[in-house]
Amino acid sequence: MLSRIIPPAIVLFWLGSVGWLSAVVWAPPGSRMSEVDPFEVYRVFFSWNDSANMILLENGTRRGQVTVSGGSGNDPASGEFTRNLSLSGSIETYDPSSASNRVDLFWKGTVEFSEPMALQETDFSVRIPGKELSVQLRHSEKDKSGKVRVTMAGRELLSFDSTTPGPGGDGAGSPLAMLGAMGGLGGNGILGGLGGLDALNPAAMKLEITARRGNFNFGGRDMRAYFVTLHNPDHDQEIRVYLSEVGEPLKIESDLGFEAISEILVPLDAYRRDVPPYD
């Protein structure tokens, strides 16, 4: 009797083990979590009202740092309820000759949303110290305006403001309109490869957003977390964000080899440097 039962039992146990292993190790993390309304995650993150320091990694190697903060409240000027996202950080390169990091790029940006998560304003700036280059971009969905300013070594290379009236007083001659007509922004110009003038308008970006909640392992610790996926179907690019149940960002992944991990979770081997061996 046992000789007939044991072989099928072993097979079933093996199949069950392989199935469990496949689900835990190879299945996408989101598939092991229950789906939730993205607005649940928005409420948690923007009620967090704090900031998180994260280490920026490229293919597992430290490349800089990122600071993320979220908050919400009534705007002092208008009295309207707004949600605010702030991002800042740097990209660095390790210099073996000086055994220190050289900053290649700084960036900082803020995004303001209304209570139902309609985009209101964005303000973004980038500085590249090695080239003395600075770029500032601002877009307001409230008044449908945009501003761009680019400087290098103290010289202004590009500047326009869509609210600047033209010679006829109707705004048609604004720097934005003139540069667009000349191909400086559209066509084969600066923003041509990014979708023309719509590249200045974050509200025009198409995003498919899904959110899940469940258990996930971070740094050897099992914890409850939110998992948010932001997918751009036009470019087939995706950003994956993990947040704690109180809204603190734990990990941000991209399809470009870059990821940001909370300082308390970053693996120690991310700090390794490729330096010449001692003689």
Task: Write down the mean pLDDT value for the chain.
Answer: 75
Closest among 163, 118, 173 to 138, alpha carbons compared: 163
Q: What is the pLDDT of residue 236?
A: 81
Written as six digits, the tokens of 234 are 């036009």
Over residues 65-115, the pLDDT tens digits come to: 999 999 999 888 888 899 999 999 999 987 777 777 788 999 999 999 998
Q: Say how far apart CA 180 and CA 106 lie, in whole Å.
A: 28
Which DSSP string corresponds to 61-125? Answer: EEEEEEEEEEEEEE-TTT--EEEEEEEEEEEEEEETTTTEEEEEEEEEEEEEEETT--EEEEEEE
Over residues 190-222, the pLDDT tens digits come to: 344 334 444 445 555 677 899 999 988 876 778
Q: What is the pLDDT of residue 29?
A: 54
Q: What is the mean pLDDT of residues 26-36?
A: 62
pLDDT at 2 over 90: no
Contact 214, 245 (CB under 8 A): no
What is the third-level CATH fold of 30-141+201-271? outer membrane lipoprotein receptor (LolB), chain A (2.50.20)
Q: What is the pLDDT of residue 205?
A: 62
pLDDT category of residue 179 using cuts at 50, 70 and 90: very low
**Number of Cβ within a 10 Å radius of residue 268:** 6
pLDDT at 187 over 90: no
Q: Indicate the pTM of the whole model.
A: 0.70
Q: Position of tokens 């979590």? A: 33
